[in-house]
Each structure stands twice: as C-alpha cells, then as structure tokens.
C-alpha cells in the first residue's frame, strides 16, 4: 500500500527530501505522494521515512492503493534496478 498525505499537511518541507524514491512532490496546495513511486521505503528502510519525520502525523496508508510487502518490493526493484 502506498502512503497518502492528508489535508492536515502544513507544507513544512521535511518529507520530500526523505523519500528515497522521489515519490513526494509539491502539489497545488499540499505535498502529494505518487503511488506509482511509493514503496513505503521497502527496499531502503524498515519504516517509511516521511512518516518518521512528519511533525503533524498526516501520512497514513492510502486505502485506494493496497499492496503487499512483496508487491512493494517488486516496485522497488522496478524503480531502482
């Protein structure tokens, strides 16, 4: 499952540089996560780094993009190999 930034985002800019896949970018109003690039940091780290640094806890799992650990790892290999 990829992650999602909610409208509670305060545009603090700390999540974008933490994403090893470049999945986070500035949207029209708040930061957004590209579900095609988000692997929840599988392949890079044990936990999603954007969630770790977010000061307002506005990055939950995206229920519209459900993926297993194996699918996230396969996506990691497609992006990074």
Q: What is the pLDDT of residues 27-68, one digit of tens each?
A: 999 999 999 999 999 999 999 999 999 999 999 999 999 999
Per-residue pLDDT, 67: 94
Q: Strands, DSSP E only, in the chain?
A: 24-26, 31-33
Domains of the chain by start residue, with CATH: 16-80 (3.30.70.20)
Provide the total of helices (H) and of strands (E) in the chain, helices listed first.
2, 2
**Whether the predicted model's global pTM rises above the 0.95 cut:** no
Contact present, 15 and 31 (Cβ < 8 Å): yes
Per-residue pLDDT, 51: 97
Identify the three-state secondary structure at position 31: strand
Per-residue pLDDT, 1: 75
Residue 32 pairs in a beta bridge with 25
Per-residue pLDDT, 81: 84
Per-residue pLDDT, 42: 96
Residues whose CB is less than 8 angstroms from the CB of residue 51 and which lie 6 or more positions away in sequence, other chains included: 3, 57, 59
């Amino acid at each position: 499952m990829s992650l999602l930034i909610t409208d509670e985002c305060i545009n603090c800019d700390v999540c974008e540089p933490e994403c090893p896949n470049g999945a986070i970018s500035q949207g029209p109003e708040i930061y957004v996560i590209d579900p095609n690039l988000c692997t929840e940091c599988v392949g890079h780290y044990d936990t999603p780094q954007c969630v770790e640094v977010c000061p307002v806890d506005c990055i939950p799992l995206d229920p519209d993009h459900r993926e297993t650990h194996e699918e996230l790892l396969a996506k990691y290999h497609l992006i990074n190999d």
